[in-house]
Chains A and B, each alone.
Chain A
Amino acid sequence: MKRLLDVLREDCALTGTKEGCGEGECGACTVLIDGQAVNSCLVPFAQVAGSSVTTIEGLTGAEALQSAFIREGGAQCGICTPGMILAAVALPKDADLQDIRRGLAGNICRCTGYEGIYRSLRAAAIPARAAD
């Protein structure tokens, strides 16, 4: 059987979605199914029939967040980054540090120590809020 993750990476050549643990712990494989962040390593491919799946390649409207990751050192090796960003788009714009930590609890990063990631999220939220 193929998992959604396998089909995305191998059949669709959408390698932005990563595999870390393969068991729901690291969040590297996060995608949006019908707008909700889930672990694509735990979804049998057939289950998404009729659903809409968004990977990091197809994500739109998060450019400010993506540039903040670059600017603020939110990405180092980059393996966790697509998953981080897809989990982060579910967060409200006015998320405080506590909300951010809770919202990203399913995404592991081995490089940044998370501070760069939290900084990126907060930096991205500020102009967005100012524009609201």
Chain B
Amino acid sequence: MKTFTLLPVRSLLEGGRESAKPGSILKAGGVDLLDRMKEGLETPDRVVSIAHVPGHDGIEVGPPARIGALATLARLDSHAELRRVYPALADAAGGAATPQIRNMATLGGNLAQRPRCWYFRQAEFDCTKKGGAQCFALNGENRFHAIFDTDVCCCIHPSATAVALLAYAARVDTVGTRGKRSISIEDFFVAPREDPTRENQLAAGEVIEAVVLPAPAPGSRSVYKKLKEKESFDWPLVETAVSVSVSRGTIQDARVVLGSVSPVPRRARGAEKILAGARPSAELIARAAEAAVAGATPLSQNAHKVRLARVMVERALREILA
């Protein structure tokens, strides 16, 4: 790996300013970044580390909840109050990776990590995501790739926490050289059709400061579920986070999110429409799950993921509407 200077900074703003300079890149826990550097995908002269910036690893459950970008996945998992109010987020964090990695990985880094597509992760493949002309997975090894929005780049977004945060309609607060802003998580991600070389709309010098979750509606319930090939730690085959609020036997509002099925985490709006205003029943749940995967465009090796996604949504809904 190329030699670099590690520059620890004292504030997120300084991190933004320094990382916007040529040849520099921002690092939090470093779990994702180190891997990309080792593969030669990033060759920075300076690694700007915000890992030890004080005051940004707090978890205030509120609600609304405010979680600092430097809170580790391990802390999200073990925070009893967060788990009580936002169980899908605690489970998404606690189900990701391994105990050792969760001790290092931060929430901000989890949201801003880059996809794990094996063509993207190898420097030899000049793929669409690297600004090249083709997506090698489209006609290559694509067992673990997307089943929606597969036309430009069929990678899947790797962030588990993003799936839960979409179900909670969270916002991402940032600081940067151009000031502060608060971005709805819906708008945070950038689909390949818009720009395949990035996954989110963070500008140069812009750093995630915190994630804010609104208070759950009264009578709401939520769940995160992940299906893996291995029983022990593994990346998901598909994952889902669902949040519904029920009042007097009727579903008021539903958010159904699918992860690991598309280049950016996906809201299954068809399923949400079927659920809203309806009374829970097995038939309704089956219909909503079917709608969640309607319009899927699986690749040569991953048609099975359509069924897995449908089943996961069905299980999640059954669990919270039972």
- Give A residues with C-beta under 8 Å from B: 1, 3, 22-25, 27, 30, 36-39, 42-44, 46-47, 87, 90, 101-107
Which size bracket describes the interface of B in this complex? 20 to 34
| Inter-subunit contact A42/B30 (CB<8 Å) | yes
Q: Is B38 an interface position by the 8 A CB rule?
A: yes
Interfacial chain B residues near A90, Cβ < 8 Å? 99
| Inter-subunit contact B99/A44 (CB<8 Å) | no
| Inter-subunit contact A36/B6 (CB<8 Å) | no
Q: Give 1 or 0 for each of B40-53: 1 = CB within 8 Å of chain A CB.
A: 00000001010100
Partner of A106, one of B30, B38, B47, B100: B100
| Inter-subunit contact B1/A1 (CB<8 Å) | yes
Q: Is B139 an interface position by the 8 A CB rule?
A: no
Partner of A30, one of B6, B31, B100: B100
Q: Give 1 or 0 for each of B82-125: 1 = CB within 8 Å of chain A CB.
A: 00000000000000011111011000000000000000000000
What is the bound-complex CA distance between A47 and B2, given in angstroms? Answer: 16
Known: A24-B31, A42-B30, A105-B232. A47 touches B6 (CB 8 A): yes
Partner of B2, one of A1, A36, A103: A1
| Inter-subunit contact A24/B100 (CB<8 Å) | yes
Closest A residue, CB atoms, query B231 = A101
| Inter-subunit contact B31/A105 (CB<8 Å) | no
Closest A residue, CB atoms, query B103 = A36
| Inter-subunit contact B31/A42 (CB<8 Å) | yes
| Inter-subunit contact B6/A44 (CB<8 Å) | yes
Partner of A22, one of B3, B38, B74: B38
Closest A residue, CB atoms, query B5 = A46
| Inter-subunit contact A47/B30 (CB<8 Å) | yes
Residue from B47, B74, B104 with most neighbouring chain A CB atoms (10 Å): B104
